[in-house]
Amino acid sequence: MKLLSPSRRIPTFLGSTDISHNLNYPLWQLVDVLLPLFGKYYTYTSLYETIGSANHIWCVYENGKCIGCALITDVGSNRGLYIMLFGIRQSAQGRGIGKRLLESIIIWSSRHEYKFIYLHTEYDNEKAIGMYQKAGFRKQFYQPDCMDQLPQFGSDVVPMVLFLT
Ligand SMILES: CC(C)(COP(=O)(O)OP(=O)(O)OC[C@H]1O[C@@H](n2cnc3c(N)ncnc32)[C@H](O)[C@@H]1OP(=O)(O)O)[C@@H](O)C(=O)NCCC(=O)NCCS
Pocket test for ligand 1, best of 30, 41, 85, 93 (most atoms within 8 A of CB): 93
Tell me the whole-structure pTM to 2 decimals. Answer: 0.90
Q: Measure the CA–CA gap between 47 and 90, rounded to whole angstroms.
A: 18
The residue nearest atom 42 of ligand 1, judged by CA position, is 87
**Cα 138 to middle of ligand 1, angstroms:** 16
Band of residue 16 on the pLDDT scale cut at 50, 70, 90: confident
Segment (H or E) for 17: strand 17-21
Domain segments of the chain: what residues?
A: 2-163
Nearest to 64 by CA among 1, 18, 6, 23: 18
Atom of ligand 1 nearest to the CA of 97: 7
pLDDT digits (tens, 9 = 90+) for 110-162: 999 999 999 999 999 999 999 999 999 999 877 766 666 777 777 788 999 99
Pocket of ligand 1 (CB under 6 A): 37, 85-88, 93-99, 121, 125-128, 130-131, 134
pLDDT digits (tens, 9 = 90+) for 27-36: 999 999 999 9
**Cα 153 to middle of ligand 1, angstroms:** 22
58-64: average pLDDT: 95
What per-residue confidence (pLDDT) applies to 71?
Answer: 98
83-97: average pLDDT: 96
- Percent helix / strand / coil, the chain, rounded to 5: 35, 30, 40
Say which CATH topology domain 2-163 has: Aminopeptidase (3.40.630)
DSSP state of 22: S
